[in-house]
Structure 1
Amino acid sequence: MKDLFLLYIHGYGSNRESRKFFNLKESLPDFPAAVFEWDEHTDFELLLKTAIEQTNEIEQIVLVGDSTGANIAYQIRETRKSLGLSTILVLTSPLLDYDKRLNTELQFAENLQNSLMKINKVEDALVILAKEDEAIDFSQFDVKQDAPNSTVIYVEDNHRLEGFMNYVGYIIGYIVNKSVRPQ
């Protein structure tokens, strides 16, 4: 587990100062880590290409995406998978479908909207969903259908996961379970 690299993708309206990223770094001090900072005007095609280029020499990474950043993280994982690279994926309050947002008055820039994929099935990931999520509608989310081969944890929290430190243990356990073990 010591050779893993942590890449964090923050959510819409956040940045490299993300509380969740700092909580993870504090809990995993030996992991080299980076945040991919973006905003709604980012060239997402370039962001994905850069993420792949900067991690393609790393056999296995831990990729954590929050909210809108979870959608981007999923896309990075899928590209790495197509290249035969391993990724341990953690999605928190993931925006899997732009149309499942509860606050439809908040419109994302067209650039961001067009860069988000509709994710119908989250495979092989740890997914943390807030029971009181006020930003994304997970009421129709069916763990067996929508998240095969994934671990889904429902937490008593809101979209921002104010109690995030309480879930870091789940994340670490998932990483340990999924990490490449020495032969």
Structure 2
Amino acid sequence: MRPLTEQDIRNSFINCSKGEAKRLAIPRDLAERPWNDLDFLGWRDPGAPDRSYLVTEREDRLVGVTLRFPSSQRGFLHRSMCSLCMTTHPGSGVCLMTARKAGAAGREGNSVGVYMCADLACSLYVRGKKIPESGLRIEESLTVEQQIARTTGRLSAFLDKLYT
């Protein structure tokens, strides 16, 4: 992914108003992000514990999405798998992220959801740059490049649902 600026990020959102995009919390460490290892930029809002954001490149343009997730925590013995990168996490390491649909459907309250890593670090898990809290990642017969393609394909399918 190419490095993004604050303005790039704010202009990319498809499922919130321009005013909401202007007010949302942008990460302050954009210059330190490992852009070459990211398929999307994802972050949690430090001021709103139930919100997170995701920005990715699609068809030569940026697409940003606001996400919500439940604040309830699961027990540490419970394990879940991210549906994007297939990383398993204990407790609340994976959660159902919901996004309001784009356009009129979103204004009517329609949304779609996806189970994904709560820290939005799927790109880093797939590349082995970050280790899950459990310390383990399922061994796969797919190459890293194939895993990246699967992750970006699943993200793309999720984003497609925001437009329908």
| TM-score, length basis structure 2 | 0.29
Higher share in strand:
2
| TM-score, length basis structure 1 | 0.27
Higher share in helix:
1
